[in-house]
Amino acid sequence: MKRLFLLRYDTERSSQEQMAGFLEKAVAVHRADQIPATFFCRSAAVEAREDDFRAFDETVKDDPLFDIQDHSYSHIGLCYEAGSPVDVLKADYEKSFAIHERVFGKRPIGVSICGTSGKDGAGLKGFDETDKARAELDMMAGLGLRMINSKRVGVNGSCEFTNYAPLGHPEIMGFPSGYSDTGWMYRAEQGDPMDYILGQIKERAERDAHMPLMLHDWVAWNEAPDKELTHVRRIAEWARQLGYELVTHIACYGEKSLWAS
Ligand SMILES: [Zn+2]
């Protein structure tokens, strides 16, 4: 099995003042080092920084290194114990997808689930855990969803790809998700951030496991040691040294043998 490294940015900050320069720098760095990345964009941020996002999309839209997907409109919670009613979730994602269509000229097919910090109760182990969560997945499928975090009971969502055939959606890929930089970098919960994350990548490589890396635009830009994305370059270089193939989420979707069996 080839080991895949899935680097993503949950791109969600609305503040132009805080985020000025981030998208340009990300394009420059990811191109210079040929690092594939998926940008799950929260569309309230797209709206607030529309010129930036339009310029970003213009620059990357024909470049397979960059994959633009969705992170809701208002950072709303899918697949939680409690959480908003399905019709409220639907309205949020409909609004978000419409903004993607207007600004990027393209409807997203991928969503990364938002962390809502306990506001919606605990995150469920899977969309198959409650009837409401099943209804949420059905609703998202109806909006054209084709890829989302691996969230099925019994599936290790931090390592494994899956699909949602047992829930009636064989066309939807589940992707591994984990290692949020809000934990290991922003809050430095594991000691030195770089020692920790490079160590984790090595440990995964030794287990022959896929490696997801969840970055955030505001952490990578405002909470990192510099504004050159040096940490991202080091992480990508290390992953390659350990034999990882770096990929976007949409590239994984195109490789059905990974998730559709
Ligand atoms: Zn988020």
Q: What is the CATH number of the domain that holds 82?
A: 3.20.20.370
**Structure-token pair, residue 105:** 């000229």
Integer angstrom CA distances of residue 200 from 157, 175, 194, 231: 16, 19, 10, 15
The total of structural domains in the chain comes to 1
Collect the ranges in the chain with pLDDT lower than 50. none
Distance, in Å, from the CA atom of 111 to the CA atom of 85, rounded to the nearest integer, reads: 18
CA 253 from centre of chain? 14
At 65 the pLDDT is 98
* Distance (Å) from CA 216 to ligand 1 centroid: 7
Half-sphere exposure (Cβ direction) of 144: Cα atoms closer than 13 Å = 13
* Alpha carbon distance 243, 59 (integer Å): 29
Q: Report CA(59)–ligand 1 centroid distance (Å).
A: 24
> What's the gap in Å between 78 CA and the centre of ligand 1?
12
User: Looking at the DSSP assignment, which residues form a beta bridge with residue 165?
Assistant: none
**How many A from CA of 64 to the centre of ligand 1?**
23
What local confidence, expressed as pLDDT, does residue 38 receive?
A: 98
Calculate how far, in angstroms, residue 215's C-alpha sits from the geometric centre of ligand 1: 10
Long-range CB contacts (within 8 A, 24+) of 254-260 = 258/4, 258/161, 258/173, 259/161, 259/162, 259/163, 259/173, 259/174, 259/175, 260/163, 260/170, 260/173
Distance 61 CA to ligand 1 centre (A): 23
What pLDDT is attached to residue 261? 74
CA 228 – ligand 1 centroid, Å: 22
Q: What pLDDT does 157 receive?
A: 97
Q: State pTM to two decimals.
A: 0.98
Domain of 126 in residue numbering reads as: 4-258
Using the mean position of ligand 1's atoms as its centre, give its distance from the Cα of residue 88 in Å: 18
Q: Please tell me the distance between residue 234's alpha carbon and the centre of ligand 1 in angstroms.
A: 23
Alpha-carbon distance of 227 to 225, in angstroms, equals 7
How far apart are the CA of 1 and the centre of ligand 1, in A?
30
Ligand 1 center to 42 CA (angstroms): 8
pLDDT in the model for residue 32: 98
Angle subtended at Cα 135 by Cα 129 and Cα 141, rounded to the nearest 5 degrees: 110
CA of 238 to the centre of ligand 1 (A): 26
DSSP conformation class of 167: G
CA of 12 to the centre of ligand 1 (A): 6
